[in-house]
Amino acid sequence: MPGDIIAWGEGDGEKVPLLSVDDGKIETQFDWEQWKQFILLESYTRQTAPFYARLPFHYHYVPERVRSLALKFLLALNKNKGTQPTDFPGHPIEQGFELLHYLYCNNGGTASWESSVSGQIFLTHDIDTRGGFEWALKTAAREKKYGFRSLWNVVGNLYKIDYDALDELRKDGFEIGLHGYNHDNKDAFLSEDALRKRFDRCKPLIERYGMKSYRSPSWLRTPMLFDVLKDYISTDFSRLDSDILCPGGQGGCLWTKGFEYGGLLQIPSTVPYEYPLFVGYKPDQLLNFWTPKLKWLRKINGNIVVNTHPDTGYSGNQAMLDSYEQLLIYLNDN
């Protein structure tokens, strides 16, 4: 590469020049647009269906305690493999691509794919069980107290939906979104036709609440899923900027602002608030855990996209409600 090299990458022990400035003009090692698309669409990784998506019965028949232990085991296994937290992707902050993008734009590169959706707060929740509705209302009441309105994603065809609770939330200005068909974690890996049939069955619910938003169960996502999704909703929250959670494989779009692609507004989730619980943190330690990332997101004008679950194994209990209120207070003040 000609000119002064301003960013290096490292792969297989070798240093690779990534960006240089030559005579005031930015040069890139790879075609910038293709490079950016490759990363934002997570083409560098491929998710596979987790083993329990291949079970002949719904994996929710496995008791929650056992599933929660399995998640802890998976996270510990990844840690022992050295894939976290120091390896790629950095977690909770992976700043490589954000830095590169900053350097590129500050040296004359033209920003594209920029969206007006940046520097915002999105509070989002996935209701995984019928029991979650009760805590959804309690959580929403805390949000209201601080002037927030959030997104509540419901599973289309798993449990008896509490329409009264959803109606109340809607009336209070909260948004209702879709959280998959039945949370069997198969949606992203079905044939296109089979997935369309599932979404078609969700249409009455989509229409009843004017749903615009979606989050895929267990963060499972494939190009086919996004391609079908755009015909039903307009905004997706299924990607994470740094993903060490999805049972289909680690990755993330390494990006904290919204972007439009393939007919969808995609808003990466940046604060999966409950994650530290599975690596030994207590509810009252969560805000401390996330504060460095919250500050970083503010600095780079990224979106603070919080995700929780109002279900009893996650945020559906008093200790977590109090912890979440601490987060709301922080967001209100900072």
Residue 137: which H helix or E strand, with range?
helix 132-145
Q: List the one residue from 98, 128, 175, 243 that touches Zn ion (CB under 5 A).
A: 128
Edge-to-edge strands, sheet with 175-178: 259-261, 264-266, 235-236, 213-214, 175-178, 151-154, 121-127, 304-308, 271-272
Q: What is the signed CA dihedral for 69, 75, 78, 79, rounded to 10 degrees?
A: -110
Smallest distance, Zn ion to C-beta of residue 70, A = 15
Smallest distance, Zn ion to C-beta of residue 11, A = 34
Q: Where are the beta strands (DSSP E) in the chain?
A: 4-11, 14-22, 25-28, 121-127, 151-154, 175-178, 213-214, 235-236, 259-261, 264-266, 271-272, 304-308
Residue 175 touching Zn ion (CB under 5 A): no
Smallest distance, Zn ion to C-beta of residue 215, A = 8
Using the rule CB under 5 A, give the single segment among 24-32, 55-63, 122-130, 298-306 that binds Zn ion: 122-130
Q: List the one residue from 217, 268, 283, 302 that touches Zn ion (CB under 5 A).
A: 217
Residue 132 touching Zn ion (CB under 5 A): no
> Which bin fits 210, alpha (ψ -120 to 50), beta or left (φ > 0)?
left
Using the rule CB under 5 A, give the single segment among 78-86, 106-114, 119-127, 229-237 that binds Zn ion: 119-127
Judge contact between 156 and 178, C-beta under 8 A. Answer: yes
Q: Which is nearer to Zn ion, 240 or 294 (CB)?
A: 240
Token duo for residue 215: 């989050």
Smallest distance, Zn ion to C-beta of residue 315, A = 12
Smallest distance, Zn ion to C-beta of residue 316, A = 13
Nearest to 206 by CA among 227, 235, 183: 235
Q: Which is nearer to Zn ion, 94 or 128 (CB)?
A: 128
Using the rule CB under 5 A, give the single segment among 27-35, 213-221, 229-237, 294-302 that binds Zn ion: 213-221
Smallest distance, Zn ion to C-beta of residue 156, A = 12
Residue 184 touching Zn ion (CB under 5 A): no
Residue 236 touching Zn ion (CB under 5 A): no
Smallest distance, Zn ion to C-beta of residue 180, A = 7
Residue 310 touching Zn ion (CB under 5 A): no
Judge contact between 242 and 93, C-beta under 8 A. Answer: yes
Number of residues engaging Zn ion in binding (CB under 5 A): 3
Q: List the one residue from 126, 175, 187, 236 that touches Zn ion (CB under 5 A).
A: 126
Q: Mark out the alpha helices in 183-317 (DSSP H runs).
A: 192-208, 223-229, 286-299
**Which residues of the chain form contacts with Zn ion (CB under 5 A)?**
126, 128, 217
